[in-house]
Amino acid sequence: MDQYPSGHPYTVAVDCIIFGFDGERLKLLLIKRGFEPEKGKWSLMGGFVKPKESLDHAAKRVLHRLTGLEGVYLEQLKAFGMPKRDPRERTISVSYFALIGIHKYHKQVSSSYDSEWFPVTDFPKLIFDHQKMVNLARSRLRYKASLHPILFELLPEKFTMPQLQMLYEDFYLTTFDKRNFSRKILSTNLLIKQKDKDKSSSKRGAFYYKLNKEKYKENFHAFLKFIPNPEHLI
Amino acid sequence: MDQYPSGHPYTVAVDCIIFGFDGERLKLLLIKRGFEPEKGKWSLMGGFVKPKESLDHAAKRVLHRLTGLEGVYLEQLKAFGMPKRDPRERTISVSYFALIGIHKYHKQVSSSYDSEWFPVTDFPKLIFDHQKMVNLARSRLRYKASLHPILFELLPEKFTMPQLQMLYEDFYLTTFDKRNFSRKILSTNLLIKQKDKDKSSSKRGAFYYKLNKEKYKENFHAFLKFIPNPEHLI
């Protein structure tokens, strides 16, 4: 610690970058600010940290209060603290990203707040440094998703191969060859083919798959080939 | 943001987890507190964030003021914000980890502060939640080091295979078979064998190696096999 008797007081907030997948597109949940400054502009969901709660608790509380959601994947991303990021006063914001299955929560989400899901490739300008937070969350998530099958958090219990491919393509802003994609994904042994088909998007239909949850757990760190028992390290 | 007109004011600090490698052991730089509370106890190096500086700047400043070091590898780890982590007042601490070549900086480091390098496997009890910060930094670093050749930040320009092996063994708290280790590391094509030997630790001596910095850059993301051009994503 410094020699100061104490530090300067700042406001501390949390902001949540909320990703969802509606079966076709990767989306971002934003709210319209109902107060100044920047009234009427789009923003991430956030809130101030209360005196008796932890940062994680504040993020959970904000997410729950604004969306009705509980038990979702939520991870601290980074603390943002540029001196003039918030024009009102010096505010440190600890950002979190959340992965939500839109299919499950859609109704609760839009009820009480002026919120809207936007495609991650096309959403309005955001206030403060929220655009930077979204960019960083997308990078971090791309990074994690290339190592861990984390994107399954976004999918419903049953999903099709074309849906999974659309999710990955939206995520990495690229296109994959259909057969290669399917072959690579199936080679992970993470999916269990179901007997029924989704016929909503084509006559022929597409088989449903489910995630093999045991394999998911088992293979989560399988890429760490060099280090023995990497699962004990993380 | 919440409907509150403003948040509660808290103190914001940074704490640095500083790793170094002395050629034999992985070490952690700690300071002895010269003031209350917890006077005389061991602590990470930290300081309060000043009104006109960013969090990154505060971490750099603290690191520089206490060690004389500049241009070292420094990365934000996580914001710690449990309500009673600091008994004096509610303090949010943003932790950073740094990787230092002890060989280069040793003299500056210990001059003005009561600081000491401890083996990461055997260091004194730390104040507040600093032990948690160290644990998380070690996890994060193990994780990164199993994917990226990041540990080279800790090595001098020229190093031997036994040194590299000692570093990895201390890092992962394990032992590697000498020939396997050497074979795996060399298969990355990251090292350039030198003509001279280090004869300080054995008669026969051990060849020096240097890092191939081009390959280092090139291969940094080589493990991301599934995603095309992953280097553009991070």
Give the mean model confidence (pLDDT) for residues B148-177: 86
pLDDT band at B222 (very low <50, low <70, confident <90, very high): very low
pLDDT greater than 50 at residue B16:
yes
The C-alpha atoms of residue A70 and residue A58 are separated, in whole angstroms, by 13
User: What's residue A202's pLDDT?
Assistant: 82
Q: Could you tell me the pTM of the whole model?
A: 0.85
Half-sphere exposure in the Cβ direction for B205 (13 Å, CA): 9
Residue at token pair 């050629």: B23
Q: Which of residues 65-124 of B touch A (CB under 8 A)?
A: 76, 78-83, 88-92, 94
pLDDT greater than 60 at residue B109:
no
User: What's residue A215's pLDDT?
Assistant: 76
| Higher pLDDT among residues A201 and A96, named by residue | A96
User: What's residue B104's pLDDT?
Assistant: 67
Instruction: Tell whether B189 is within 8 A of chain A (Cβ).
Output: no
Compute the Cα dihedral for B55, B101, B66, B43 and give only its sign.
positive
pLDDT greater than 60 at residue A221:
no
| Higher pLDDT among residues B35 and A135, named by residue | A135
Residues A129, A85: contact at Cβ < 8 Å?
A: yes
Give the phi and the psi of residue B75 in degrees, each rounded to 5.
-140, 135
Least-confidence region, from A62-76, A220-234, B152-166: A220-234
| Higher pLDDT among residues B207 and B201, named by residue | B207
pLDDT greater than 90 at residue A15:
yes
Q: Which residue of B has its CA nearest to A53?
A: B83
- List the B158-160 sheet strands across, edge first: B158-160, B206-211, B191-198
The C-alpha atoms of residue B69 and residue B19 are separated, in whole angstroms, by 13
Beta bridge partners of A119: A27
To the nearest 10 degrees (0 to 180), the angle between helices A102-109 and A55-67 is 70
Question: Could you report the per-residue pLDDT of B40-64, keeping only the tens digit for each?
Answer: 899 999 999 999 999 999 999 999 8
CA angle B143, B217, B168 (to 5 degrees): 35
ipTM of the complex: 0.82
User: What's residue B2's pLDDT?
Assistant: 43
Residues B132, A193: contact at Cβ < 8 Å?
A: no
Give the mean model confidence (pLDDT) for residues A39-57: 94
Question: Could you report the per-residue pLDDT of A166-187, keeping only the tens digit for each?
Answer: 988 888 888 888 998 888 888 8
Measured between CB atoms, which of B12, B33, B230 is closest to A10? B12
Least-confidence region, from A49-53, A128-132, A188-192, B121-125: A188-192
The C-alpha atoms of residue B118 and residue B169 are separated, in whole angstroms, by 16
CA angle B114, B115, B116 (to 5 degrees): 135
User: What's residue B83's pLDDT?
Assistant: 94
Question: Could you report the per-residue pLDDT of B5-15, keeping only the tens digit for each?
Answer: 578 889 999 99
pLDDT greater than 60 at residue B108:
no
The C-alpha atoms of residue A166 and residue A216 are separated, in whole angstroms, by 20
Residues 6+ apart with CB under 8 A from A105: A20, A67, A68, A69
**What would you report as the CA-atom Rg of chain B, rounded to the nearest whole angstrom?**
20
Find, among B119, B129, B148, B37, the residue nearest to A54 by Cα: B129
Question: Could you report the per-residue pLDDT of B62-104, keeping only the tens digit for each?
Answer: 998 877 888 889 999 999 999 999 888 899 999 999 998 887 6
The C-alpha atoms of residue B78 and residue B195 are separated, in whole angstroms, by 43
Instruction: Tell whether A180 is within 8 A of chain B (Cβ).
Output: no
Answer yes or no: do A9 and B10 touch at CB < 8 A.
Answer: yes
Question: Could you report the per-residue pLDDT of A140-167, keeping only the tens digit for each?
Answer: 887 777 667 778 888 888 999 999 999 8
User: What's residue A41's pLDDT?
Assistant: 93
The C-alpha atoms of residue B31 and residue B29 are separated, in whole angstroms, by 7
List CB contacts (< 8 A) between B92 and chain A: 12, 49, 55, 79, 92, 94
Give the phi and the psi of residue A113 in degrees, each rounded to 5.
-110, 160
Within 10 A of A70 (CB to CB), how many other CB atoms are there?
9
Instruction: Tell whether B187 is within 8 A of chain A (Cβ).
Output: no
Average pLDDT, chain A: 83
Q: How many residues does chain A have?
A: 234
List CB contacts (< 8 A) between A76 and chain B: 78-79
B72: left (phi over 0), alpha (psi -120 to 50) or beta: beta
List CB contacts (< 8 A) between B228 and chain A: 172, 174
Residues B212, B189: contact at Cβ < 8 Å?
A: yes
Measured between CB atoms, which of A50, A83, A174 is closest to B228? A174
Least-confidence region, from A65-79, A140-154, B69-83, B213-227: B213-227
Beta bridge partners of B14: B47, B94
Give the phi and the psi of residue B124 in degrees, each rounded to 5.
-70, 165
pLDDT band at A223 (very low <50, low <70, confident <90, very high): very low
Give the mean model confidence (pLDDT) for residues B225-231: 37
Which of B1, B16, B82 is the mutation pick for testing A, counting most A CBs within 10 A?
A: B1
